Amino acid sequence: MGYKQVLFLCSGNYYRSRFAEEIFNHLATSQQIEWRASSRGLALDRGTENIGPISHFTLHALADRGIIASARSPLACSVDDLECSDIVVAMKEAEHRLLLGERFPGWENRVSYWHVHDIDAAEPADAITLIDRLVTELVANCRTSGASA
């Protein structure tokens, strides 16, 4: 039996969405639920200050939780990524609704939005804590009902 799929979106697929992906997959595996997550960026071109494949804030937060992150580079979102996902969560509505509408018309009304600020508007520790809580809630929901972010 195949896994159901969660897709986390942020702008650069470098910090927030990557942390959500890694935490979700760690929890889903440890709880033996048939869900897996991936993550993509809606505007990789905006990440001109991103150094390396993943944010050091994400790496440190994952290491603190005993999780080793994949070393892959950020990936841009495609229509296939959206269509192959059972749940799509964008990290911040004010930031991502417009991008979705511009790049994937119609999808801006088909995803769930969290309200997790990027590094320019929130301390990384606060954003990481919020993502951790929201992902834990999502995993619990997937485990019990199988749906909805």
Give the pLDDT confidence of 44-61 residue by residue, as tens digits.
887 556 667 788 899 899
Per the structure block, which two tokens stand in for 13? 């697929």
Q: How much is the pTM? A: 0.92
Contact, 111 vs 89, CB < 8 A?
yes
Percent of residues, the chain, with pLDDT higher than 70: 92
The pLDDT, as a whole number, for residue 122 is 74
The CB density around residue 82, as the number of other CB atoms within 10 Å, is 18
Which among 98, 99, 102 is positioned nearest to 40, based on CA atoms? 99
Mean pLDDT computed over 64-82: 91
For 4-144, CATH number out of 1.10.10.10, 3.90.380.10, 3.40.50.1000, 3.40.50.2300 equals 3.40.50.2300
